[in-house]
Structure 1
Amino acid sequence: MKNKELAESIINKVGGKDNITSLVHCATRLRFVLKDDSKADAESLKKQKGVITVVKSGGQFQVVIGNHVADVFSDIMQLTNLNENNTTNAAPDKKMGFFSKLIDLVSSIFIPALVVLVAGGILKGIISLLQVKNIVYEGSPTYNFLFAIADAPFYYLPIILGFSAVKKFGGNPYVGMALGGALVHPNIVGMLGGAFEAQSSLFGISIKLIPYASSVFPIIIASWFYSVLERNFSKIMHDSFKKFIAPLLGIIITVPLTFAVIGPVVAFLSNIVAAGIIYVYQLNSVIASMILAGLWQVMVVFGIHWGLVPFAMNNINVYQEDFMVPILFPAVFAQVGAVLAIMLRSKDLQMQGLASSSVLSGIFGVTEPAIYGINLPLKRPFVIGCISAMIGGGIVGYYQSVIYSFSFISIFSFLQLIPPTGIDDKFYAVVFGSLISFGVATVVTYLFGIPKDKRSMLGLDTDKDVEQERASNAQPTEKIIRVSSPMTGKVIPLTQVNDPTFAGELMGKGSAIIPTIGQVLAPEDGEVVSLFRTKHAIGFVTDTGAEILIHIGIDTVKLDGQHFEAHIESGSKVKKGDLLVSFDIDAIKQAGFEVTTPIIITNTDDYKDVKTIFMQNDIQAGNELLTLNKSED
């Protein structure tokens, strides 16, 4: 009943069932594509009991709720009849950008298949361990039975992806299974005779036959092509027979075309992509691994990590191994280490309970409760976790470790690193790298990971603490620093900015302005310390020591400087009111971007408090916007 009540509340707060275009779920979050995002009440959802947070990314409205996401998803599907009305097959909103559509597409196709793929991958790891211990032997009946169970999801991956891909593209998903089945049919496999490729003929036309077992991209392109044919045939056929004839014609055209053209071309291109990724990795595997490990959880926060899934799976199909997934082990266990430190340090029973459950979830590969529930709100633990992950990632990259079947990271995934020949240095590198990242994150977070202004969240600011501090320190005096507005417009809270990084105050506290005049003026006397090449962001330091980031618009870096004009350069000394940058508000909006401008005090930790004056009011450039409260002995 609790899940059903939560499902009803989520439906209402995303704008009702009529506002839902599609819905899928991953390990911890519901991924909505909504007809109108403005109808969804994200702030109210974040306060909803049972909801960890809300993220808008990749064209999706993502509601993070934790490990019981599948139960809530099932209730929402029943309450909205999405499955009956086929609404989940609807195409994404055309207003979504290419990258957003791509992330939505990848997540919708692969998320439903992950459960069985991860299960098969873990079983493959167990088989490898049994081989190392000489419990089972390759070719024995026991081995054959176990391997068939473990390998089936991967061997028949075209059938699995055919179902979810055609469903996503708006066709009959069972025809998608038939498309995938044709690619791995015994007749086709038999013509190959165990070779990597063979010449054959189709209607007298010579074609190059290749193996499609475990392949990823050919079936997705074939599914898209089939879905286009099915929709167009359905438009021109009579209702009495189009239900059967449209799929018949679609599959008769698609399957031969896949064998003759789509399959070989897509396989050739996917091999090039795989080789290119390997080439870049091998240029400097240590640096590449450190970057991926450090950024992985940031990608998880924005929900864009799904873009790497097809490439990891393609590497396994092409090379029977993948180097990307092992790099992620330190990234996952570093966040677990950070939240473990919070659990050990906290004196608040509720925080201890949340942290302990987050540690357990993280060990089994689900880091969202740790990230959204604790590490991101406290800020420092999340950053420490990302930096610690880079250390372990560098170790993994140095030994160029690989995994032999696809998996998302958990304590069980270590088994999938074991090669059939026995445990080697590459396996130990991942174990050691993960332990190092885990240990560093735990220790550093325990010692330095709790900001003073967040101590009360952990129950550390007791009366005794305050009395001891008063007894050992002289009464401080306070200095108020005032920062004026750099632009004219309407002031809104930073938490209302449509970007999780700014709204979560990850870069510091401050405010935001929706400008009505396209000019940024110097808020105080000071120096322009940085001006981005795209001119959409300015780093500024006042003579009183306040470090300010003025970020004009959201995601406007994609404009590459269009509609912006700089009137200063990095290093310029300016006076209050000097013109820094001018920009075309209407042109930026027409290009599809928000002009809401976060104004961040990036050295927030230097101040006791940062407050906004005249919240939710119109403001003129030069009027006081922020007060910075600095304690002085």
Structure 2
Amino acid sequence: MNHREIAKKIIEESGGIENISSVTHCSTRLRIFIKDKSKVNQEQIQAIKPVLGVVFPEDELQIVLGQNMIPIYESVSKTFESQSKNSDARTNEAQEASQSSHTTKSTDGGKKSIGKFLYKVLAFVSAAVTPMIPGLVAGGMLKVFLLLATLVFPAFESSSTYSMLNMLADVPFYFMPIFVAYGASKKLGGTPLYSMTVAAALVYPTFMTAVTEGTSLSLLNIPVTLVKYNSTLLPALLISIFAYYCEKFLVKVIPGIIRPVFVGMLTITAAYILGITVLGPLGDIVGSYVVHIFLWSSVNIGPFAVGILAACMPWLVMTGMHHAVTPFMVQAITNPGYDGLFKPAYLLHNMAEGGACLGVALRTKDKALKAECYSLAVGCILAGVTEPALYGVNLRLKKPMYGVMAGSALGGIVAGLMGATAYVYGYSTILAIPIFQQTIMAIVTAIIVSIVSACIITMIIGFDEELLR
């Protein structure tokens, strides 16, 4: 079965083109936003040969494809685009689907638990930030290599080449509100350019200069709180939600003949006024509190905070919720300027996944499985891609998951005890250890503990190879 046929089968089992609002992806997952969940045949999708796993939180169908993701995504995306009538029709369908889902939520919302509500919030945040993850990874790894270059050639840091490349590496983080606005709008079914325009205004040079210099500003006689919105998440999310409902309202009340002229203008104006005066400052305050709560836990719970988060990571990855905390990681590195919790936990979980695969490889007598596990271990440790190992081996064999959790926890505790702290955003691989700067030995020690303990524990408790057949 070629990629085009796989894409056709995925679309068919997802309920057809008419049941899809939009298509996106992350490093290893095809993410399809669904209108009617009942039309999706998860079992048939799981049975497609390249598919490693299927996760379906709310209306986002996540299909784990590992190294096959990009060509299959391209085929699905092209098919989706070619068979949809036009972009306007797709937008209207997405809005109707989103409106329908909101109506459903309102009828039975009183019966749902707080946990379910929080899960939906995390699912929305995860879906909103997923499109920008590749950009954050690209910028973060460029920073890692620039840091390595300055260690080898100290004079390079004062060159214009370094300055230009460093600016490029900063872009995905500095303009994060714009990328968040795009993802949130796509998730909601609104017009991305409206919320992106307002988010861009939050980091417009004139406004940023006024913030830096403390210049007093007001809008319609409403005082404007001077906040640096670069590298923030929640302001853009709140603005995108308001822009979506504002646009939907204006489309209903403005006559069709003048709708193209006034809907966009009024949407961005209303979203900007409310965003810069209320939603932006509110989102910044809440986002700062969230980051500081996590940092408080790492200070007051001590090394166990990193261990607990690292041990939970495989289950966050399985549900697709691991991306929901990525923006807070970026925000922590921006303010207060370091991350002693998120990045160590992310990194050590990846190492433990690789360690468990090594344990399987060393214990099994099956040559094909041995070779596969060695390859997956390299992917986890050097590339930071864990889904193929998680879904392909560790989860299917079940018992290696104990090794993953134990290795993650033990490595996290060591990292916490030794004070491993990231000062630059980078991908969660062994190649990114320079971002820990003066605490590099702490994270190296923790990495060794994670890999070795996950490997040994997996070898000791064993596994049933028949589960892979």
Task: Answer yes or no: same fold by TM over 0.5.
Answer: yes
Cα root mean square deviation, aligned:
2.5
Structure 2 counterpart of 1:93, one-letter code? S
Matched, 1:335 2:365: no
Change (3 A) 1:408 1:106: farther
Partner of 1:539: none
| Higher helix residue share | 2
Q: Which residue among 219, 222, 246 is the counterpart of 1:202? A: 219
Partner of 2:190: 171
Listed as ranges, the gaps of 5+ residues in structure 2 are 106-115
Partners of 1:234 and 1:243 within 8 A in 2: no
Among candidates 447, 450, 454, match of residue 462 of structure 2: 450
Correspondence list, 1:181-580, <5 A: 181-192=200-211, 194-195=212-213, 198-323=215-340, 324-363=342-381, 364-418=383-437, 424=438, 426-446=439-459, 448-451=460-463, 454-455=464-465
- Number of residues paired by the alignment? 448
Could you tell me how far 1:21 is from its partner in structure 2? 4.0
Question: Equivalents in 1 of 2:421, 2:7: separation in Å?
Answer: 40
Compared CA separation, residues 16 and 208, structure 1 to 2 (3 A): closer
Task: Work out the CA distance in 2 between the residues paired with 1:261 and 1:456.
Answer: 58
TM-score by length of 1: 0.66
Counterpart Cα distance in 2 of 1:308 and 1:266 = 15
Distance 1:33 1:169, change over 3 A: closer
The residue type paired with residue 304 of structure 2 is I
User: Does 2:101 match 1:93?
Assistant: yes
* Cα distance in 1 for residues equivalent to 2:184 and 2:319: 23
Assess if the C-alpha contact under 8 Å between 1:13 and 1:41 holds in 2: yes
Closer/same/farther in 2, CA of residues 135 and 101 from structure 1, 3 Å limit: same
Q: Name whichever of 107-116 and 66-75 sits farther off.
A: 66-75
Deviations 1:410-442 (A, max 9, x none): 233323323xxxxx1x22211210111101222
Q: Report SS of the residue matched to 2:44.
A: helix
Q: Aligned partners of 1:227, 1:58: CA distance in 2, in Å?
A: 19
Contact 1:58 1:100 survives alignment (8 Å): no
The 2-side partners of 1:107 and 1:116 are apart by 15
Instruction: State the AA in 2 paired with 1:443.
Output: I
Query: Residues of 2 paired with 1:163 and 1:38: CA distance?
Result: 27
CA distance in 1, matches of 2:461, 2:250: 61
Given that residues 396 and 468 in structure 2 are in contact (C-alpha distance below 8 angstroms), is that contact kept between their aligned partners in structure 1? no
Q: Report the TM-score, using the length of structure 2 for normalisation.
A: 0.88
- Does the Cα contact within 8 Å between 1:202 and 1:256 map onto a contact in 2? yes
Q: Compared with structure 1, are the counterparts of its residues 409 and 191 closer, same or farther at alpha carbon in structure 2 (3 Å cutoff)?
A: same
CA contact (8 A) 1:365 1:409 kept: yes
Give the Cα–Cα distance (whole angstroms) in 2 for the partners of residues 333 and 213 of structure 1.
31
Partner Cα separation in structure 2 for residue 146 and residue 21 of structure 1: 37
The aligned amino acid for 1:71 is: P
Provide closer, same or farther for how the CA distance between residues 204 and 301 of structure 1 changes in structure 2, counting only shifts above 3 A.
Answer: closer
The percentage of aligned residue pairs carrying the same residue is 29
Distance 1:284 1:178, change over 3 A: same
Report the Cα distance in structure 1 between the residues aligned to 2:266 and 2:161, rounded to whole angstroms. 44
Larger Rg: 1
**Corresponding residue for residue 54 of structure 1:** 54
Moved more, 389-398 or 44-53: 44-53
Alpha-carbon shift at residue 133 of structure 1 (Å): 3.4
Give distance in 1, aligned partners of 2:72 and 2:22.
Answer: 15
Q: CA deviation at 1:262?
A: 1.9
- 1:269 partner SS: helix
- 1:263 is displaced (CA, Å) by 1.8
Does 1:144 find its partner at 2:193?
A: no
Give 1:368 deviation, angstroms. 1.0
State the secondary structure of the residue aligned to 1:208: coil
Q: Which residue in the other structure is 1:43 paired with?
A: 43
2:147 matched to which residue of 1? 128
Give the superposition deviation at 1:50. Answer: 0.8
Structure with the largest fraction of strand: 1
One-letter amino acid of the structure 2 residue matched with residue 362 of structure 1: C
CA distance in 1: counterparts of 2:428 and 2:45, whole angstroms: 28
Distance 1:61 1:251 in 2: 30
- Read off the aligned partner of 2:420 and give its amino acid letter: S
Q: Deviations over 1:284-305 (max 9, x none)?
A: 2211111111111122122222
Which residue pairs with 2:13 in the alignment? 13
Asked if the contact 1:130–1:136 (Cα under 8 Å) also holds between the matched residues in 2, the reply is no
Q: Which residue of 2 aligns with 1:104?
A: 123
Q: After superposition, what is the alpha-carbon deviation per residue over 1:523-572, rounded to whole angstroms, capped at 9, x for unaligned?
A: xxxxxxxxxxxxxxxxxxxxxxxxxxxxxxxxxxxxxxxxxxxxxxxxxx
Q: Does the CA-based 8 Å contact 1:285-1:400 persist in structure 2?
A: no
Is contact 2:46-2:53 (8 Å) kept? yes
